[in-house]
Structures are given as C-alpha cells and as structure tokens.
C-alpha cells in the first residue's frame, strides 16, 4: 500500500477522533451534563475515516488526472514555435477546476453522504428487533440525507474551490480532514 495513502488515512482518522471528542464536549455543555468521554463513537468515527479516506484519495487523484488544475500554457505569439516544451509555462485551467467542482459537489457529495449514513446506520443497528441493519440504514438515509447535503452546502463548496485551486492533490484529503473537524463535530452531534 502507498505510504502517502496510509499517512493521509491515519491523519484523517486522528482528525476524525478529535472532532468527535470536541462534539462530545459541546454536547455535554449544550445539555448541561457532566462531561464523560465515550470511546464507542470515537472508534466509530475513526473506523469510518479509515474506510472512507482511501476512496476519497483515489477520487481526488482521479479528478486531478482527468481535469488537471495546471495545464501547459499556450505559447505567446512572440515565442518561437520551436520553443522547448519542457520550459513551457503552466496555467490554471479554470474550466477544469469548475468541472472538478461540479463532479465533487454532486456525485462526490452524494456518495460520501450515503457512505457515511450506511456505515452509521449499520453501526447503530441491532441484529434483532425493529432496529435491524437494513431498517436502521434506511432510517438514517431518510432522516439525515437531505439535512446533511444542505448542511454540507454551507461548508464544502468553498473548501472545494480553494482545494482545487491552491492545495496540491496529495494534500487535499488531509486538508479536507482538517476542515472536516468542524464538519465532524456537526456529524457527531447529528448522529448522537
């Protein structure tokens, strides 16, 4: 396995754990109850991060491979047509950035949201009774999909544009995990 993938995944898991601890502190304060650290949700969020970060890293690399932010700039009219292509300048392709943005904020957002809800639905289910895994997953999706997508629209589009324009592809998921600490607090409070 690629060491950069492992490193980014572990960093993401650590940040996910941090966001869950912070959510527990906020929840305790909000409900005016004594703080008591619960390890189960921390482990759930860390495990989800370990499961979800590798596909997200692959997704970001795939988007960048198809629609690179930096492309070879067209030569200026004053340059000789026989100029060395190795010395050519790079330019930002705003078209590619917008294509990546559109794909990430539609397909990527839906897949990530569903992946989270299926995981949490399964983890919060009981093997017997009314809360079996399938019912739990369906309930999670029905109750939380739309609010999560709408909540995500307040945060992820801005990060997505910044990410595609200025953050190197190999650092995007970890940068997303840093921003995701805030998002993780929201998710932790949503599923409590």
The strand pairing partners of 72, in sequence order, are 90
The strand pairing partners of 90, in sequence order, are 72
How does residue 181 score in pLDDT terms, banded at 50, 70 and 90? Answer: confident
> How many other C-beta atoms lie within 10 A of the C-beta of residue 42?
19
Lowest-confidence region among 34-43, 159-168, 171-180: 171-180
State whether the Cα torsion 19-156-108-62 is positive or negative. negative
In this prediction the pTM is 0.85
Q: Residue 151 and residue 107: Cα distance in Å, rounded?
A: 16
Structurally, how many domains does the chain consist of?
A: 1
Q: What is the pLDDT of residue 1?
A: 66
Which residues form the domain of 120? Answer: 3-76+83-191
Q: Residue 36 and residue 3: Cα distance in Å, rounded?
A: 35
Q: What is the torsion angle, in degrees rounded to the nearest 10, for the CA atoms of residue 129, residue 135, residue 140 and residue 142?
A: -130
Give the residue-averaged pLDDT of 134-153. 93
- Assigned token pair, 190: 């949503």
Counting every residue written for the chain, the total comes to 192
The CA-based angle 8-149-46, given to 5 degrees, is: 30
């Amino acid at each position: 396995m690629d060491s950069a993938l492992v490193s980014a995944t572990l960093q993401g898991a650590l940040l996910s754990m941090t966001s869950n601890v912070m959510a527990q502190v906020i929840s305790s304060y909000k409900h005016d109850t004594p703080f008591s650290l619960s390890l189960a949700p921390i482990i759930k969020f860390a495990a989800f991060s370990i499961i979800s970060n590798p596909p997200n890293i692959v997704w970001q690399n795939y988007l960048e491979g198809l629609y690179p932010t930096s492309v070879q700039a067209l030569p200026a009219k004053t340059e000789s047509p026989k100029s060395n292509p190795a010395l050519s300048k790079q330019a930002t392709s705003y078209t590619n950035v917008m294509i990546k943005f559109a794909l990430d904020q539609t397909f990527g957002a839906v897949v990530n949201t569903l992946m989270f809800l299926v995981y949490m639905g399964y983890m919060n289910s009981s093997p017997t009774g009314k809360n079996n895994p399938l019912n739990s997953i369906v309930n999670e999706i029905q109750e939380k999909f739309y609010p999560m997508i709408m909540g995500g629209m307040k945060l992820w589009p801005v990060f997505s544009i910044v990410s595609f324009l200025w953050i190197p592809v190999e650092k995007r998921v970890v940068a997303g995990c840093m921003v995701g600490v805030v998002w993780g607090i929201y998710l932790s409070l949503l599923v409590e």
